[in-house]
Structures are given as C-alpha cells and as structure tokens.
Chains A and B, each alone.
Chain A
Amino acid sequence: MSPLFLFLSFVALLSALGVVLAKNPVHSVLFLILTFFTLSGHYLLLNAQFLAAVNIIVYAGAIMVLFLFVIMFLNLNEETEPHKPALAKFAAAIAGGSLLLILVAAMRNVNPVGYDPTSFDSQIGMVDRLGLVLFQQYALPFELASILLLAAMVGSVMLGKRETGERNF
C-alpha cells in the first residue's frame, strides 16, 4: 500500500469520526466535506479523474453547501439542542452497532484480489471511456436515473412555487 493511500485513509477515517463526534453541527458538516475530499483523493489514486472531479462538484460543492446553508439558518447550539429520550439513544446505538457487525462480518472473509497487469486498462476511469460505457452498455438505467432526477426537480419546483394570494415573505 502506498503511503499516499495510507495517509488518505487515515484522514478519511479521522474526519469521518469527526463528523459523528463534533458537538457543533457546523463542524460536523466541515468534517464531512473533508471526508469527501479524501474520497476524491482515493478516486484519483484509482485513476478515476472524472469521478473525483464530479464528487467534489456535486457532493462537496453543491449538496454540502445546502447542508451548511440549512444548519446555519437553524442556528443550532448546545442550549437549543433538544435532548433525545434514552430509548431513542438506545435504539440508535443498537441499530448502528448491528450495522457495524454486519459490515465487519461481511468484510472479514473478503479476499482482496489485485489487478491483472496484462489485461488492466489504465484509461478505464477517463471521462470518454465512462461516457461510452454509460451510453452504450447502461443506456436504459442511465435514462431512468435522469427521469428520476427530473421528477424530483419538478417536484421541488412545485413545492417551492408561491400560491396566488400568498405573501411574498
């Protein structure tokens, strides 16, 4: 394993822990953005430039901005934070713990296979190759996903639309 991979994984795990452990929700969001950056670094190590760039643009650049936006507006701090009942905390701990258990159990027997140097295609993550695969091999799922996104977009526009007679603000 290269030192870069180890470093990226270390930062990724550390910042992912920071997301959960940070008291301040804004710090959590910033840690999550750092996590996305390290994931993009991993994509780059796998020679997937397009995926790395899109991960930054979509997740770090757009979705997390909206997260931050909402959290800043909510003005969450320790005084106003609602205290969850003990049952909810207990249920959350059980659910999270079993997820961890399942993941560990599933990963335990995984036999990591290296790549075959004779048939390995270093250009596989490049944007033109990805486009060809998406539009030839997976054209139908691709189009279905785009219709799903379109439906979500139209729905959100409808929800945000002002009814007649409603106040401006």
Chain B
Amino acid sequence: MDFPPLAWQGLVVLVVFGVSLLIATYSTYAERVIAAFLQDRVGPDRAGPFGLLQPLADAVKLFTKEEFFPAGANRALFVFGPCLAMVTALMSSAVIPFGNVLQFGETAIHLQGIEINVGMLYVFGMVSLGVYGIMIGGWASNNKFSLLGAIRAASQNISYEIAMGLALIAVLMMSGTLSLREITFQQVSDAPFVWQDIFNWNVMKQPLGFIIFIVCAFAETNRTPFDLPECETELIGGYHTEYSSMKMGLYLFAEYINVFVASAVMSVLYFGGFNFPFQAELRNWLVSSQGLELVTAQNIITILGLVGLFAKIFSFIFFFMWVRWTLPRFRYDQLMRLGWTILIPLAIFNIMLTGGLITFGVIK
C-alpha cells in the first residue's frame, strides 16, 4: 500500500495520543501498587491477574456513576473545565521527540508528533494553559472550597512557572535552540570513552537547574507535596469537590497525563532523550560483526532509543509516585516561600553561573 508521508505523521500523532492515554490509565494502577508497596499493603489484586484490569473496572465505575450538577453551577463551564484540562494535557505531548527516524526504504518515519522550531516554548505554553481547566471547573462549581482550590492552583502554577522558565533558560543558553529534537541530538557524545555518553547529558552540566526544574514540575502537575489545590484536609477535594462520574475521571486523568509529559520533558531536556550509552558502539558492532546494513542497524538503535526513553520516563513517573507516598504536604505559605524566595533566586544564580561558565569556556 502506498502511504503519503503526512499519513505516517498522522499515524505517529495517533500513536502518541493512544500511548499517552494508556500510560495515564496504567499510572492509576501503578500509583496504587506503589502506594501499597510503600505502606506495606497488598494493593489492587482482585480484577484480573495482579489486579491488572483495575483501571478498566475504575472506568466502568466512573462511567456508570450519576452525572451530578450542583445547584447554581454554570453548566456549560462546569463541563468545559475538565475537557479543557484533558485537552491541554494531551496537546503538550505532541512535540516530544520519542525517537529518532525509522527508515523503511523511501519512507522515513519521525517518531515525534510534530517538529517545530520552538518546541520547548510550545510545551511551556501548554503547561501554562493547563491551569485554566482547574480554574474554570473550580469557579463553575459554585462552591467556596472549589473556588479556593482553583485560586490556589492558579497562584501556584504562575509562581512555579517563573522558576521553571528560569531553570529552562540555563539549558537554552547551552543548547542555543528551542527545538527539543536539536536539544536531544546535542546530548550525544563523540568522545573516545564509551561511558562518557552519560556525561554529555544536560543533567551533568545543569544539576542545579534540574533540581529546580523537577521541583517546579511537581508543583505544575499538582502532585504531592504540592497538591494544595486539592488539599482534602482543608478544602474537602479542592477544585473537583463537586465533580462526579467521568468529569472527575477526566481531571484525574489529566493529572496523570501531565505527570507523563513532565517526565518525558525532563528525560528529553536533562537525561539525553532517546540517546543511550554505547549506542554508537552498538551500531558499529551491528554493522561490522553482525553484517547488518547501516539502515537496519540505525533502525534497531532507534527502537532501542525509544525503549530507553520510555524507561527514563517510567522511572520519573515512579519517582513522582514515590515522593507522593513519602513526603507530607506543604503548607500554603511554605509553598509560596519556597517558590519565590528560594527557587527563583536559585534559578537566577544558576543562569549567572551558566553564563559565566560559558563565557570562560568551561562548558559549551
């Protein structure tokens, strides 16, 4: 069958979409398993082998629950809120380079939804829009606790976006590009030492920036210890207090997709993306010892890189969950103090440090 090149790209977009949903689905399962492990419980084990069908059972439960609209709620915006949260969460995974190019004869498939010049800004824009879903839903519920949760979400996201952006600037100063694909390619090493690939990852050059970025990622995705917008001890359920059924499910889903995208962005920006150690050696070995063609060897490397990137993403998702079940929630004033008086000055210091090191030629 003859496929036009754009059809392949459309297929990639669909696959990215499906994979995001699948990962979000199984994040709910993973969250429970990890929580159970950390709290020395059994966890979900009823639905299917090892409880693997638990997300399916949850979906059935959410779909069959009563669709509830609180009195005095703004109905249109009440429905629009969770939809918007979901849409913005899904849109941000479009520019992430999940892998290099797969070459089949004439057709080259880029394992990336779309490649744009300003990919990092695109992700950043989508993240900054994500708060609207929460704000609109919280306001439309006509409930004081929901509104408080929405307001908290807005101020938290804006505050941590600044530190996140400043941490990013340090990376961009080194890379000189906003394209996530270019940033990935720059993290390949051609050094003679085989294990030096890892030292070319941005996390080695930007350790402080990475720490700031990951803390902000926790705040931007509303994950514990920064899940103040849905802090149940103070706000019942925060912005989704009044939500039931699948609208509630969409909010929870959007959070897991955000966690997935944040993990992917951190893997690409700081942990080499789809690069993995020994890839050049492996390709050379495949060509010279196994007698494969260069194109085939490159395809194998691309697939291994895809697997490697997903391994990095999954370890970040695990980290997100590990922290959630380990650390207690911050108080709201502590959250704001951390964001404004510690992270932002640290990020500015990081920019100055990076600028100095680039000027004196210590790092590229």
A interface list, Cβ under 8 A from B: 24, 26, 30, 33, 49-50, 53-54, 56-57, 60-62, 65-66, 68-69, 72-73, 126-128
**A62 to B159 alpha-carbon distance, docked (Å):** 10
Q: Which residue of B lies closest to A53 (CB)?
A: B121
**Residue contact B131 to A65, C-beta cutoff 8 Å:** yes
Interface secondary structure of B, over-half rule: helix
How many B residues have CB within 8 A of the partner chain? 27
**Residue contact B128 to A61, C-beta cutoff 8 Å:** yes
**Residue contact A73 to B128, C-beta cutoff 8 Å:** no
**Residue contact A68 to B129, C-beta cutoff 8 Å:** no
**A133 to B151 alpha-carbon distance, docked (Å):** 39
**Residue contact A49 to B118, C-beta cutoff 8 Å:** yes
B318 to chain A, nearest CB (A): 29
**Residue contact B135 to A65, C-beta cutoff 8 Å:** yes
Interface secondary structure of A, over-half rule: helix
Give 6 nearest A-B pairs by CB, closest first.
A61-B128, A53-B121, A56-B125, A57-B125, A53-B118, A49-B118
Interface residues of B in 141-161 (CB under 8 A from A): 147, 150-151, 154-155, 157-158, 161
Q: Which residue of B lies closest to A60 (CB)?
A: B129
18 A-B pairs with CB atoms under 8 Å apart are A49-B116, A49-B118, A50-B117, A50-B178, A53-B122, A57-B124, A57-B125, A57-B128, A61-B125, A61-B161, A62-B158, A65-B154, A66-B158, A68-B135, A69-B151, A127-B117, A128-B176, A128-B177
**Residue contact B132 to A65, C-beta cutoff 8 Å:** yes
B139 within 8 A of A: yes
A56 to chain B, nearest CB (A): 4
- Known A-B contacts A33-B132, A73-B151; the reply to A50 vs B125 at CB < 8 A is no
Across the interface, which residues of A come within 8 angstroms of B135, CB to CB?
Answer: 65, 68-69, 72
Across the interface, which residues of A come within 8 angstroms of B24, CB to CB?
Answer: none
- Known A-B contacts A26-B139, A72-B147; the reply to A62 vs B128 at CB < 8 A is yes
